[in-house]
Chains A and B, each alone.
Chain A
Amino acid sequence: MLEAFVDGLLLVLHWKAFAFMLAGIGVGFWVGLLPGLGGATTLALMLPFIYNMQPVEAFAFLLGMHSVVATTGDITSILFGVPGEATTAAIILDGHAMAKKGEAGRALGAALASSLIGALIGAAALALAIPIVRPLVLTFGSPELFMLAVVGLAFIASLSGQGARGMVRGFLAGGLGLFLAMVGQDPQAGVARFTLDTLYLWQGLDLVPVLVGLFALPEIIDLVVRGTSIAGNVPAGNISKGALEGVKDAFRHFWLTVRCSLIGTFIGITPGLGGAVAQWMAYGHATQSARNTEERKGFGEGDVRGVIGPGAACNSKEGGALIPTIAFGVPGSTSMAILLGGFFLLGLVPGPDMLTKHLPVTFSMVWTIVLANLITVALCFVLLNRLTALTAVPGHLLVPVILVLVFIGSYTGNNNYADIVVTLVFGAVGYFMVLAGWPRAPLVLGLVLGKIAENYLYISVARYDWAWLTRPVVMVLILIAVAVVVYPAIQAWRQRSRA
């Protein structure tokens, strides 16, 4: 085992594999920065290049690319409020708020440091989990997956505003999200639901145009209305010092970083939940770390913990997501499905063999994730001054560029003009939600989890009738869901009784 661990590292450090990894990082860096253009599409485009590579080189290339996409996606999200990837939207809430306060450097520092820690923890979890991977994944059947989705939805409670009014708004927004998740052909009877007689909506709403509209457009409108640069008229201050402060933040809240990393890894391991979920659950968890209502109010207005949480989860889930792909040949996301195609091209058969005979190759993947993230984060710190300077550029120069990128980004969702319409519609929805003080996070959580919850509930009941409720893991998850919902209420009550 230990030998394979070291062998894996040596495999990646071979000059050829290393060079391919650097090439992959170069590609992934830009793909992550550009909004909309997804990691999955790029992986599919790059797949033909691996035909003549050795397995380790090929995975160094593909994984190197894949594992930096989320890191640089965070940068776009923080600087411009435009989700660089569908998996990096949650970091906008506090990250971009910080950028608007002139703290872009600190936000970036915190995001980079936490995503590096997250990647390391995810990789470590993957390495440690290898002996117990199969029983671990097999414990989670459809009833458990349904309950995980419910736990995710329960985080709406902590993503909503304070007080009864805030809760109601949060749950209404979450309900709207669940409703939007219903759009499209349903997988049980094949009925087309809420498709407005269009072909476009048959397959449901695509996440990228919705997220881009919901988060990017309100920020752009805001920027135009204010007529200043993103950072307003706040003096930029010493950027490197800010970034250092951000790095320190990640360590100041070290256990939060660790917990959010573990959330990410865990979501990654469970196939079927999808990468977009992890960041929101981590963000929800981060808001729970607020000790009183005063602190809680700060979330969404630039609390650094709201950056650390999703930042850590975003990269740690990649290590986790590799587990079902390697051990069962069951990909947890589109990107992993494409990676799986890469396995076959290279003549490797995912399955138990990858954990025994080909263990060094498996560990070389772990190392690739670690090294690629180290290199990217180092690179980002070098470029930090340039990147942060963008927040001081006058809005009227920045907006046209961002708008073009935003619309190209959402158009790549389906190469369909309706993508643009969806972006605009959700841009309007997002703008009015911000104006009226309604939280957007619950809506996204509902949209992301709706389909999963619906399908796995159906499967659970169809397969086990009511017996699914008596499964031990399900019962534990029910308790966790209740705890997550009740926690903000208890917190508020405790504070009141103290006062």
Chain B
Amino acid sequence: MKLRTWVAALAAVLPLPVAAQSFQGKTVTIVVGYKAGGGYDATARLLARYLPKHIPGKPTVIVQNMPGANSIIAANHIYNVAKPDGLTIGTFNRNLPIAQLTGVQGVKYDITKFQWIGSAANETTVLAIRSDLPYKNFDELRKSKERLVIGSTGPGANTHDFPLLLKDLLGINIKLVSGYSSSADIMLAVERKEVDGRAGSYTSLRPFIDRKLVKPIVRARSSEKSVANLPMDEDFAPNPRAKAIMALRSAPEQVARPYVLPPATPADIVKVMRQAFEAAIKDPECEKEAAKAQLDLEFTPGDQAQKILAEVLKQPKDIVDEFSKYIKFGE
């Protein structure tokens, strides 16, 4: 860390030969692995407006949508096709490491070999239940014999996988009803009391929590301070294996908005991009707009993101096999 600071300071002071790093007159494309309109897309479009200010040469930054196969198509493109010249950046499904880990067909990338710029946000999955239910806390819910109906969009989404593990590993009496077309649809089902609650990222649930429709009751591993006082699923794990599976599910959430460059991108370009992303995300104006758009941005540098994901992919085979029994790659 110290060395990095030094290098950064040096780069700031010395007029280095920046020819290779200047993006003047060029166009940087951020390839998003989803259609326009979702959270990944919104984050990319916001950053595209603030990045030019912080990249040397002030290039134009545009967003291109490349949806399909829960963004495996986009990841394959960045890994195999895109030129490693810093002009193509990829952002995609945070669960792509899971696809690689569980051997999904069609994966043509190694997530740790991308040149990681970093992550623009981290997410915490929480389970929120209707405020009018009698459970005051997670302990009461755990001990209750009553069945809790939870709506989900489908396997691979945190609306599904998180409650699934609560049910199968912690033995909570949950009935999982999947197939809602979006998490907003589940909220409506909560409102008409068709289901008792839903899991999801804390940011997406917050408006409904503020409206007192639901209350958060248990969370996954997280670094967010605002949910720190909620109980964490892993603490109730009956054995180390269950704990490992829960930890594995939540690990990619620390890299919730991944940004990568093609594997062969030169180190100096990677460095420039990391600095640009960090500066853009910490730009006060960008922060203000992000807050308005209900996007919680927080920069995790690439080396750290890479370390987290390498850890995910290092799991022993028996854990991976057990994990694949519960979790399918999706969304």
Q: Are A330 and B184 in contact (CB under 8 A)?
A: yes
Please, which residues of chain B bring their CB within 8 A of the CB of A328?
A: 187-188, 191
Please, which residues of chain B bring their CB within 8 A of the CB of A186?
A: 154
Please, which residues of chain B bring their CB within 8 A of the CB of A347?
A: 292
Please, which residues of chain B bring their CB within 8 A of the CB of A142?
A: 189, 194
Residues 168-191 of B contacting A (Cβ, < 8 Å): 175, 177-182, 184-185, 187-189, 191
Q: Are A48 and B195 in contact (CB under 8 A)?
A: no
Q: Are B177 and A199 in contact (CB under 8 A)?
A: no
Q: How far is the CA of A345 from the CA of B72 in the complex (A)?
A: 30
Q: Are B64 and A415 in contact (CB under 8 A)?
A: yes
- Tell me the minimal C-beta distance from B262 to chain A in angstroms: 18
Please judge, given known A-B contacts A138-B192, A328-B187, A331-B184, whether A415 and B69 are in contact too, CB under 8 Å.
Answer: no
- Tell me the minimal C-beta distance from B60 to chain A in angstroms: 14
Q: Are B68 and A45 in contact (CB under 8 A)?
A: no
Q: Are A48 and B69 in contact (CB under 8 A)?
A: no
Q: Are B177 and A416 in contact (CB under 8 A)?
A: no
Interface check B153, CB cutoff 8 A: yes
Q: Are B45 and A324 in contact (CB under 8 A)?
A: no
Q: Are A203 and B68 in contact (CB under 8 A)?
A: yes
Please, which residues of chain B bring their CB within 8 A of the CB of A349?
A: 207, 211
Residues 19-54 of B contacting A (Cβ, < 8 Å): 35-37, 41-42, 45, 49
- Tell me the minimal C-beta distance from A474 to chain B in angstroms: 13
Q: Using CB atoms, name the residue of chain A closest to B288.
A: A51
Q: Are B37 and A414 in contact (CB under 8 A)?
A: no
Interface check A47, CB cutoff 8 A: yes
Among the listed B70, B191, B289, B292, which residue makes an inter-chain contact with A138, where contact means beta carbons less than 8 Å apart? B191
Interface check A224, CB cutoff 8 A: no
- Tell me the minimal C-beta distance from A259 to chain B in angstroms: 27
Among the listed A141, A334, A345, A459, which residue makes an inter-chain contact with B179, where contact means beta carbons less than 8 Å apart? A459
Interface check B66, CB cutoff 8 A: yes
- Tell me the minimal C-beta distance from B47 to chain A in angstroms: 12
Please, which residues of chain B bring their CB within 8 A of the CB of A197?
A: 105-106
> Interface size on A (CB < 8 Å)?
53
Among the listed B64, B76, B155, B177, which residue makes an inter-chain contact with A459, where contact means beta carbons less than 8 Å apart? B177
Q: Using CB atoms, name the residue of chain B closest to A463.
A: B177
- Tell me the minimal C-beta distance from B117 to chain A in angstroms: 22
Please judge, given known A-B contacts A190-B328, A328-B191, A462-B175, whether A41 and B67 are in contact too, CB under 8 Å.
Answer: no
Please, which residues of chain B bring their CB within 8 A of the CB of A141?
A: 189, 192, 194
Residues 227-273 of B contacting A (Cβ, < 8 Å): none
Residues 187-216 of A contacting B (Cβ, < 8 Å): 187-190, 197-200, 202-203
Please, which residues of chain B bring their CB within 8 A of the CB of A138?
A: 191-192
Residues 450-497 of A contacting B (Cβ, < 8 Å): 452, 454-456, 458-459, 462-463
Q: Using CB atoms, name the residue of chain B closest to A340.
A: B184
Please, which residues of chain B bring their CB within 8 A of the CB of A346?
A: 292
Interface check A131, CB cutoff 8 A: no
Q: Are B187 and A330 in contact (CB under 8 A)?
A: yes
Among the listed B154, B192, B292, which residue makes an inter-chain contact with A345, where contact means beta carbons less than 8 Å apart? B292
Q: Are B177 and A462 in contact (CB under 8 A)?
A: yes
Q: Are A271 and B185 in contact (CB under 8 A)?
A: yes
Interface check B209, CB cutoff 8 A: no
Please judge, given known A-B contacts A341-B293, A462-B177, A463-B195, whether A199 and B64 are in contact too, CB under 8 Å.
Answer: no
Interface check B330, CB cutoff 8 A: yes
Q: How far is the CA of A176 from the CA of B204 in the complex (A)?
A: 37
Please, which residues of chain A bring their CB within 8 A of the CB of B49?
A: 48
Among the listed A188, A331, A334, A344, which residue makes an inter-chain contact with B292, where contact means beta carbons less than 8 Å apart? A344
Q: How far is the CA of A324 from the CA of B184 in the complex (A)?
A: 10
Please judge, given known A-B contacts A203-B69, A272-B185, whether A329 and B207 are in contact too, CB under 8 Å.
Answer: yes
Interface check A398, CB cutoff 8 A: no
Interface check B65, CB cutoff 8 A: yes
Among the listed A338, A416, A452, which residue makes an inter-chain contact with B37, where contact means beta carbons less than 8 Å apart? A338
Q: Are B69 and A202 in contact (CB under 8 A)?
A: yes
Please, which residues of chain B bring their CB within 8 A of the CB of A185?
A: 70, 154, 330
Q: How far is the CA of A181 from the CA of B208 in the complex (A)?
A: 32
Interface check A424, CB cutoff 8 A: no
Q: Using CB atoms, name the residue of chain B closest to A462.
A: B177
Q: Are B294 and A455 in contact (CB under 8 A)?
A: no
Please list the 3 inter-chain residue pairs (A to B) with the smallest Cβ-Cβ separation, ordered nearest first.
A190-B155, A187-B154, A44-B36
Seen from chain B, the residues whose Cβ lies within 8 Å of a Cβ on chain A are: 35-37, 41-42, 45, 49, 64-70, 72-73, 76, 105-106, 149, 151, 153-156, 175, 177-182, 184-185, 187-189, 191-192, 194-195, 207-208, 211, 289, 292-294, 328-330
8 A/B residue pairs, CB under 8 Å, sorted by A: A141-B189, A187-B155, A200-B73, A202-B70, A203-B70, A328-B187, A331-B182, A351-B207
Q: Contacts A40-B36, A203-B69, A271-B188 given; 8 further ones with Cβ under 8 A?
A: A41-B36, A190-B155, A200-B69, A338-B36, A340-B184, A416-B66, A416-B73, A463-B194
